[in-house]
Amino acid sequence: MALTKEDIITLPNPHLRQRSKRVGHISSKIKSLAEDMINATLNWDESRDHEVGVALAAIQIDQPYRIIVVRNDLEDKKDRSFMTFINPEITKKEGVMTEDFEGCLSVPDIYGKVKRYSKIRIKALDLDGRQFRMTAEGFLARIFQHEIDHLNGIVFIDHIRDIPDAFYRLSEDGKLKSMDYEAVKQDSVLWE
C-alpha cells in the first residue's frame, strides 16, 4: 500500500531530532523508501489547499537514512515528479543570507522567517549510485538547506527560537498571521 500523509511524523516526535545514517548500498529497499517518501508527500499535498509539498527527508516518514526527495516543479501542483538525492552534502555556501518564509510537513501550519544562504553547491548520489553535483539558488537553495538540516536532526524552528517576530501560523484562508511570541513559547510542540 502506498504511504499517505498519516505516515509523516510531526513534532514533538523525538525522532525528528535524530541524525540519519548514510546510505551504503542502494538496495531495492532504499529505492522503495524513496517511492514511499514521494507518495506520502503527494498525499499530503492533495490534502492542502494553500501549500505545495516540495520536499521531504526520509526521517519524516520515520526512516533514519540520508535521503531527500525534491519536487521538479516547485510551484505547479500538477507536476508530480520528484528527484531523489542520496547522501546529499552541501559542498559550498555562497551568496548572501536571505530571510524568507519556510514551512515543514512535520510542523503543521507553522511558518517561520528563516535566514539561509541564497546560493549553495551540493553533491549527492542518484538512485543508480552515480555521484552528481548541482548548484542551487533562491528557493531551491533554501529547500536543500532545510532538508539537509533534517538529516542532521535539525528542524527549521531551531533557527528562529530566539527571534520574537519570526513565527507565523497559516490560517484557513491561506494567509500567514504573525504569532505572538509568548504564545509560541507556551506551545508545547514549538517549545518542548
- Residues classed as catalytic: 147
Is residue 104 a contact residue for Ni ion (CB under 5 A)? yes
Task: Give the span between the Cα atoms of 47 and 97, in whole angstroms.
Answer: 32
Residue nearest to Ni ion (CB): 104
Dist. CA 17–CA 155, nearest whole Å: 8
> Smallest gap, in angstroms, from Cβ of residue 128 to Ni ion?
26
Dist CA 129 CA 117 (whole Å):
28
Q: Which is nearer to Ni ion, 104 or 110 (CB)?
A: 104
Q: Which of these ranges, 18-26, 63-71, 73-81, 99-107, lies near Ni ion under the rule CB under 5 A?
A: 99-107
- Smallest gap from residue 27 Cβ to Ni ion (A): 25
**Nearer to Ni ion (CB atom), residue 26 or residue 141:** 141
In the bound complex, what is the minimum distance in angstroms from residue 121's beta carbon to Ni ion? 21
* Least distance (Å) between residue 149 CB and Ni ion: 8
Q: Measured from the CB atom, is 26 or 36 closer to Ni ion?
A: 36
Select 137 or 158, whichever has its Cβ closest to Ni ion: 158
Grid cell of 16 as nine digits: 525528528
b/e per residue, 53-77, with b = 16+ CB within 10 A? bbbbbbbbbebebbbbbbbeeeeee
Strand stretches in the chain, DSSP E: 55-57, 67-71, 82-103, 110-125, 131-137, 167-170, 176-178
Please, is 100 exposed, middle or buried when counting C-beta atoms within 10 Å of its C-beta (0-12, 13-18, 19+)?
middle
Instruction: Report how far residue 156's alpha carbon sits from residue 149's, in angstroms, rounded to the nearest whole number.
Output: 8
Contacts with Ni ion by CB under 5 A lie at 104
